[in-house]
Amino acid sequence: MLQELEKTKANPENPRITAEEARAMARTVLRLFDKWQITTAQAQEILGGLPQRTYARWKAGDIGRIDRDLATRLSLLMGIHKGLRYLFSDPARGYAWVKKPNRVFGGRAPGDVMAEGDIFSLQRVRAYLDAERSGW
């Protein structure tokens, strides 16, 4: 049975990600990793070297404390997802894009670039998608 969820109140004066928002992003990112066909090892690197046990707990639904670095990574991943949804009217094509070689990334797949582990690699993919959307 569907149940309407209470809307999140906008608070533009407070740009911080709340703990509740971070947990929601973590749950969403886990589903995205499945859609993007990201391996467990890649996922752990994308999330900043998240330990295997912690990642397994996340997958089991136990998402604990999320620090600022991890919240920022989750935010970047949500931006990547948003960019793909804007660029591809067919969601399956957007999900597949993450695994396809791309000349902009030296022939590497964006998923492989993101899995380099540093936050700048996530930002690089996000910035590319933002630029493609804006047409600069």
Number of residues in the chain: 136
pLDDT digits (tens, 9 = 90+) for 28-54: 999 999 999 999 999 999 999 999 999
**55 lies in a domain?**
yes
Residue 109 gets the label, from left (phi > 0), alpha (psi -120 to 50) or beta, of beta
**9 lies in a domain?**
no
CA-to-CA distance for 86 and 126, rounded, in angstroms? 13
pLDDT digits (tens, 9 = 90+) for 8-33: 676 666 667 888 888 999 999 999 99
- Domain carrying residue 105: 19-134
CB 117 within 8 A of CB 48: yes
Burial class (CB in 10 A: 0-12, 13-18, 19+), 90: exposed
**5 lies in a domain?**
no
Per the structure, the count of domains in the chain is 1
Instruction: Categorize the per-residue pLDDT at 135 as very low, low, confident or very high, splitting at 50, 70 and 90.
Output: low
pLDDT digits (tens, 9 = 90+) for 57-114: 999 999 988 998 999 999 999 999 999 999 999 999 999 999 999 999 999 999 999 9
The token pair at 33 is: 């990793």
**126 lies in a domain?**
yes
